[in-house]
Amino acid sequence: MAKSGDDGGRRDHGPGTADEARIRDRLARLGRRLSKAKSAHAPERNDTGSASGFGYAMRMAIDMVAGIVVGGAIGWFLDQWLGTEPILLLLVGALGLAAGFMNVARTYRAMVAEAKTARNGQGESERERGEDLPAGSLYDDDD
């Protein structure tokens, strides 16, 4: 039988004991070490807001398909309504195709402008470093 004051060999660890202070200190040091290790191994982010090449390719593809589909759908509905099958389908579909090409050209111009801005923002250009540019390169200004 245990006495009323006997806790069976266990110590009463209150919230302010030295053991908890050591544990909190070790946890804080471990947290700092983990943060340092994560930042050392984290990939560098390019936060310039530029889209990736894959993003531009997907946008161009969607612009082209959307132009054709919307133009074709409008032409088909007009043909059904006016009874002029397939004339308006072909005409408005061709307009949709032209709109798709215009959107792709607009996206390409924006991509080239962004690449030039990024290149100029990085310091000297390839030409200033003495590097030759391949013909038809994205950065080739000699049009």
Residue 52 burial by Cβ neighbours in a 10 Å radius (0-12, 13-18, 19+): exposed
Give pLDDT, residue 55. 87
- pLDDT value of residue 138: 52
CA 125 – CA 47 distance, rounded (Å): 21
Per-residue model confidence as pLDDT tens for the chain (143 residues)? 445 555 555 555 555 688 888 999 999 999 999 888 888 777 665 555 556 788 888 999 999 999 999 999 999 999 999 999 899 999 999 999 999 999 999 999 988 888 888 788 654 445 555 455 455 555 555 54
- Distance between CA 88 and CA 83 in Å, rounded? 10
Are 78 and 84 in contact, with CB atoms under 8 Å apart?
yes
| pLDDT at residue 1, rounded to an integer | 47
Residue 118 pLDDT:
78
List CB contacts of 35: < 8 A, sequence separation 6 or more.
Answer: none
3-state secondary structure of 60: helix
Domain coordinates in residue numbering, the chain: 72-116
pLDDT value for 119:
80
